[in-house]
């Protein structure tokens, strides 16, 4: 076994501009996920059959998961059977149907505003599960994001529904928890993010398929438009989107990536302008600017207070891959032991085995 090596983190640059450029590239790619999710409502209302939320959820998850499983050709091993099942239920199996229940009972603006609290929930779960200390900037950015989304999509005439609110809140809490656990557990050695995404989508899809049959019966005959809608949601809005999303969580941390979810209502609103000829008010423009500002603020790396400017690891010299930037202003206290690292707002506090 190699010796203990130390590398600079806080006091110097590891990787310099290339690391920053790489981080921006990963963030931009991850932002494509909520951007594609922002088109889901439009695709659902224009191309997919009405009144079949469980069927839609199952056909989004299971075919995409099986496709990625065929591409990756890797199955979980050991403890990862259980972890994949847990993550699949949190991120897919429970989340998808709850979102659709909320969508059926709430106006889109109310649902989107509730969804905007996700960054704040991720900050809270990161503190509880990962020991990450949220900064004032992170909390303020999260609150500004909620206000911005509310101004952008919330209407004064919107009616509230207890079932819809409960479903949306539960869905957002579940996804926030799944996001943090995804970061905490990482992925096994030799496994790609495509493989990890395949496991989760397949696990969630296997739960949703029989649920759809029991609650909604046999699927109807699909039209050509239906198939186009399912193909788009399955390939782009699910398979590609979740690979990019989980990759962002793995590379950047749960906190910064959760702020990228604010792209979702912005894209949904812009889609309404382009496709449905809707217009924006001055207040909506202000809300859009606030939401995007909060999203960018959530990506800015912070500096940990009172932390040593080193990473200590076993087995050789420290590399750029050992650096964990403290993003979204969150700080982790070292947990003891030979390996100490400064992690991100959603920083992984454990091995990815």
Output the pLDDT for position 151.
86
Who has greater pLDDT, 300 or 212? 212
| CA distances for 92 relative to 6, 86, 185, 194, angstroms | 40, 10, 17, 15
- Cβ contact 248:336 at 8 Å: no
Top mean pLDDT of 141-150, 185-194, 339-348 is at 185-194
Who has greater pLDDT, 294 or 273? 294
Length of the chain (residues): 353
pLDDT in tens, 44-88: 878 888 888 899 999 999 999 999 999 999 999 999 999 999 999
Residue 323 forms part of a structural domain: yes
Domain span at 232: 4-332
Output the pLDDT for position 340.
34
Residue 11 forms part of a structural domain: yes
Q: Looking at the predicted structure, is the pLDDT value of residue 8 above 60?
A: no
Residue 217 forms part of a structural domain: yes
Residue 341 forms part of a structural domain: no
Q: Looking at the predicted structure, is the pLDDT value of residue 327 above 60?
A: no
Cα within 13 Å of Cα(135), Cβ side: 23
pLDDT in tens, 217-271: 999 999 999 999 999 999 999 999 999 999 998 888 888 888 888 887 777 777 7
* CA pseudo-torsion sign 249, 66, 100, 268: positive
Residues 267-281, mean pLDDT to the nearest whole number: 73
Residue 218 forms part of a structural domain: yes
Q: Looking at the predicted structure, is the pLDDT value of residue 175 above 60?
A: yes
Residues 159-177, mean pLDDT to the nearest whole number: 88
Share of the chain above pLDDT 90, in %: 33
Say how many domains are in the chain. 1
Return the bridge partners of 302, or none. Answer: 326
**Largest pairwise CA distance in the chain:** 66
Residue 107 forms part of a structural domain: yes
Residue 206 forms part of a structural domain: yes
Residue 72 forms part of a structural domain: yes
pLDDT in tens, 191-218: 999 999 999 999 999 999 999 999 999 9
Residue-wise burial string across 65-89, b where 16 or more C-beta atoms lie within 10 A, e elsewhere: bbbbbeebebebeeebeebbbbbbb
- DSSP element (H, E) containing 233: helix 224-234
């Amino acid at each position: 076994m190699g010796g203990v090596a130390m590398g600079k983190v806080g006091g110097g640059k590891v990787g310099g501009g290339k690391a920053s450029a790489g981080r921006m590239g990963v963030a931009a790619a991850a932002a494509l996920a909520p951007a594609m999710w922002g088109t889901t409502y439009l695709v659902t209302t224009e191309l997919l059959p009405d009144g079949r939320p469980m069927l839609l959820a199952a056909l989004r998850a299971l075919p995409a998961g099986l496709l990625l499983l065929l591409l990756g050709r890797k199955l979980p091993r050991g403890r990862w059977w259980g972890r994949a099942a847990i993550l699949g239920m949190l991120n897919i199996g429970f989340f998808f149907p709850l979102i659709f229940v909320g969508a059926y009972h709430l106006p889109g603006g109310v649902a989107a505003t509730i969804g905007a609290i996700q960054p704040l929930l991720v900050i809270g779960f990161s503190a509880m599960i990962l020991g990450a200390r949220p900064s004032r900037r992170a909390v303020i950015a999260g609150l500004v994001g909620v206000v911005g989304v509310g101004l952008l999509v919330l209407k004064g005439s919107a009616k509230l529904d207890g079932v819809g609110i409960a479903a949306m809140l539960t869905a957002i809490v579940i996804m926030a928890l799944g996001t943090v656990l995804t970061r905490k557990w990482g992925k096994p050695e030799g496994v790609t993010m495509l493989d990890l995404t395949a496991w989760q989508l397949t696990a969630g899809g296997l739960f949703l398929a029989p649920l759809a049959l029991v609650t909604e019966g046999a699927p109807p005959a699909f039209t050509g438009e239906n198939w186009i809608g399912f193909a788009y949601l399955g390939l782009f809005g699910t398979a590609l989107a979740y690979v990019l999303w989980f990759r962002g969580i793995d590379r950047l941390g749960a906190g910064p990536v959760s702020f990228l979810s604010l792209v979702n209502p912005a894209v949904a609103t812009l889609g309404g302008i382009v496709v449905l000829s809707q217009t924006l008010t001055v207040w909506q423009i202000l809300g859009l600017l606030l939401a995007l500002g909060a999203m960018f603020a959530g990506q800015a790396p912070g500096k940990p207070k009172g932390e040593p400017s080193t990473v200590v690891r076993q087995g050789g010299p420290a590399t750029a891959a050992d650096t964990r930037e403290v993003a979204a202003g969150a700080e982790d206290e070292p947990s003891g032991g030979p390996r100490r690292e400064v992690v991100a707002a959603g920083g992984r506090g454990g091995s990815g085995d």
